[in-house]
Structure 1
Amino acid sequence: MLYKGSCHCGKIAFQFKAELTGAVRCNCSICSRKGALLCAIPHGSLTVLAWGDDLGTYTFGNHAMAHRFCRTCGIHPFAEDVREGDERSAYVNLNCVADIEPSTLPIFDFDGRSL
């Protein structure tokens, strides 16, 4: 199914194709603070529709993930695996996706603190 989402102010807009069977709650230091419920998808399934200079990037630790955020409203709509190749993933914050209620999905806990 095709889903569309955005940051709060709408300057960062995206769409992706996926079958949502659940949401992932990561307990790493950034995900737990921002309260994200994530959906992991192949990177090629994510299309960023609008971004301009408003799309910021934050990395930490081993810099394996590019956490994307809107420089205007501060919302973190998705993150991207920075590896090269076909195995690359994107992690969409389901709280930023229109027409779904993430809390109605099964939630799977991921121990990101241990990475």
Structure 2
Amino acid sequence: MPDGSDRFFGQCHCGGVRFAATLSDGFGTIRRCTCSYCRMRGAAVVSAEGGGVEILQGADLLTRYRFNTGAAQHFFCSRCGIYTHHQRRSNSHQYGVNVACLDGVSPFDFPEMPVFDGVNHPSDTGGTTRRAGTLRFVPEA
């Protein structure tokens, strides 16, 4: 996993969409979510502030998906189907970036990853963000 700068380059699976992402707190915001969409796609994400995701190539290939309240915008490549990033529902000035799309980074680089309760989203409950658990990866020897 790269160290140093919080600016990373990434792409979708087919390479049609290429982007640069400036992470808010490096990998300190790594997380997964239990909402229906995140649960099905299984992506691990990190945060980037608004303006922190720059599409370098393939903007015309990006497709947007919204569900439920329509507040969050999830972007994926229309050619290979890979989710690259999303504009967050809880903070529309922030993006979640799929770590698996970042060059040199894998979700399996993180032995532990917090999982947040997206089923009971704070925007629906009026509460605060609740941690639902921890996902662990233990490589075989």
Mark yes or no: TM-score above 0.5: yes
Aligned pairs for 1:1-115 (under 5 A) are: 1=5, 2-18=7-23, 19-81=26-88, 88-105=93-110, 106-115=112-121
Residue type of the partner of 2:47? A
**TM-score normalised according to structure 2 size:** 0.73
Q: Which runs of 5+ in 1 are unaligned?
A: none
* Preserved contact between residue 22 and residue 107 of structure 1 (Cα < 8 Å): no
Comparing 34-43 with 19-28, greater Cα deviation is found at: 19-28
Between 1:53-62 and 1:20-29, the stretch displaced more is: 20-29
- Runs (4+) off by over 3 Å: 81-84
Q: Which residue type is aligned with residue 33 of structure 2?
A: C
CA 1:36 to 1:17, structure 2 compared with 1: closer, same or farther past 3 Å?
same
* RMSD across aligned positions (CA): 2.0
Same amino acid, percent of matched pairs: 29
Residue ranges of structure 2 left out of the alignment (5+ in a row): 122-141
Preserved contact between residue 22 and residue 108 of structure 1 (Cα < 8 Å):
no
Greater fraction of residues in helix? 1
Q: Distance in 2 between matches of 1:82 and 1:113?
A: 13
Larger Rg: 2
Give the Cα separation in 1 of the matches to 2:19 and 2:104.
14
Shift of residue 27 of structure 1? 1.0
TM-score by length of 1: 0.88
Q: How many residues align?
A: 113
